[in-house]
Amino acid sequence: MLLVEQALNGVQLGVTLFLLAAGLTLIFGIMGVINLAHGSLYMVGAFAAAFVAARTGSYGLAALAGLAAAGLVGMAVEYVVVRRLYGRDHLDQVLATFGLILFFNQMAIILFGRQPLFVTMPPVLSGAVTLAPGFSYPSYRIAIIAVGLAVAIGLSLLITRTRLGMLVRAGATHRDTVRALGVDIRLLYTIVFGLGALLAGLAGIMAGPLLAVQTGMGEQILITTFVVVVIGGIGSVRGAFFAALLVGVIDTLLRAFLPGFLRTVMVGPEADALGAGLSSMGVYLLMALVLMFRPKGLFPAHG
């Protein structure tokens, strides 16, 4: 039962990572931009939702506000800053988007202060669901998993079945050809960036009631998100999905079981120290292994 519960925790972490990674991988794959400020969009979604939830008490409005804020801010960032970076090299992009992180964090401090904000959980979801006799799991976390999976299916339909998805796929592999065919690539970029921001905002909104909404919350999760993008294959949403689940489950299981396992073969403090160290290295080791055997990631977008 403990194993099942920990696996569910892993899946829940995985879908949150997927929501962030999907946008990041699209932006990187299609526009070639390393967007360090992606975590800030997650933060914007979380703050907007927390603010509206505290003011109105309505979770529906809060979710809408969070999505709208993240999406609009994302498109504004693309229009004002990122648009100027497409032709530049990655160092310039890193510098500019790092500057955006500082800007957004400071802005959040000016608007909301340094003390974290809190979102109470929607009452409907604050209980636990009994999945098997003697085994229950928090309903809110189940809801996160459900929303994450629904978004994954929706995104996959969007990309494989619609005209926009076709352009996205084409843009990822043959950017110049798409432009030569007369597609308004700038508009496409803005839409894709906004879509990525929307997903990041959704992750932020859902994280609100679990974690504390505070400045710098985006950077905490951003690094793991980059690991997911690299493992999954840059530009591949399918890769991001499987890599996110893999990273989420492996990270959680290592954290949960490795120290206990080491304690059976070693003595006390060393086992704890080694266990804590190894389990935080786990996902990076996984990334190194994947890169050794599949240098382009598990599901490379470029064939």
Partner 1 sequence: MKRRNLFLGLAASALLSAPALAQTPVRIGMITTLSGPGGYLGQDIRDGFQLAVDLAGGKLGGVPVEVVVEDDGFKPGQAKQIADRFAKAEKIKLFTGIVFSNIAAAAVPDILDNDLIYVSANAGPSNFAGKDCNRNYYVMSWQNDTLHETAGQSATMLGFKRAFILAANYQAGKDALAGFKRMFKGEIAGEIYTRLDQTDFAAEMAQIRAAKPDVVFQFHPGGLGIAFMRQYQQAGLLGQIPMVLSVAAMDQVIADAIGDASIGVNVTAHWNGDFDSPANKTFMAEWLKKYGRAPTYYASQGYDTALAIGAALKGTGGQVEPQAFRTAMLKADFASVRGKFKFGPNQHPVQDWYAVEIVKGPDGKPFLKTKERIASDVGDVYAKDCKL
| Residues engaged in binding partner 1 (CB under 8 A) | 2, 5-6, 9, 12-13, 105, 109, 114-116, 118, 121, 126, 128, 138, 140-141, 210-212, 214-217, 219-221, 252, 255-256, 259, 272-273, 275-276, 280
Cβ at position 105, least distance to partner 1 in Å: 6
Shorter beta-carbon distance to partner 1: residue 25 or 224? 224
Cβ at position 242, least distance to partner 1 in Å: 20
Angle between helices 2-26 and 139-161 (to 10 degrees): 40
Cβ at position 256, least distance to partner 1 in Å: 4
Cβ at position 208, least distance to partner 1 in Å: 11
Task: Determine whether 59 is exposed, middle or buried from the number of CB atoms within 10 Å of its CB (0-12, 13-18, 19+).
Answer: buried
Shorter beta-carbon distance to partner 1: residue 79 or 112? 112
Taking the C-alpha atoms of residue 229 and residue 68, their distance in angstroms, rounded to an integer, is 25
Residue that is written with structure tokens 């497409």 in the block? 86
Strand partners for 135: 132
Shorter beta-carbon distance to partner 1: residue 62 or 192? 62
* DSSP per residue, 278-301: HHHHHHHHHHHHHHHH-TT-SS-T
From residue 154, how far is each of 31, 83, 142, 177 by CA, in Å? 22, 27, 18, 27
Cβ at position 193, least distance to partner 1 in Å: 26
- Look up residue 250 and give its two tokens: 């492996």
Contacts of 84 (CB under 8 A, 6+ apart): 96
Classify 216 as helix, strand or coil: coil
Asked if 257 and 6 touch (Cβ cutoff 8 Å), the reply is yes
No. of helices (H) and no. of strands (E), the chain = 11, 2
Cβ at position 255, least distance to partner 1 in Å: 5
Shorter beta-carbon distance to partner 1: residue 157 or 223? 223
Cβ at position 215, least distance to partner 1 in Å: 6
The closest of 261, 240, 260, 63 to 144, measured between CA atoms, is 63
Taking the C-alpha atoms of residue 38 and residue 220, their distance in angstroms, rounded to an integer, is 12
Asked if 24 and 226 touch (Cβ cutoff 8 Å), the reply is yes
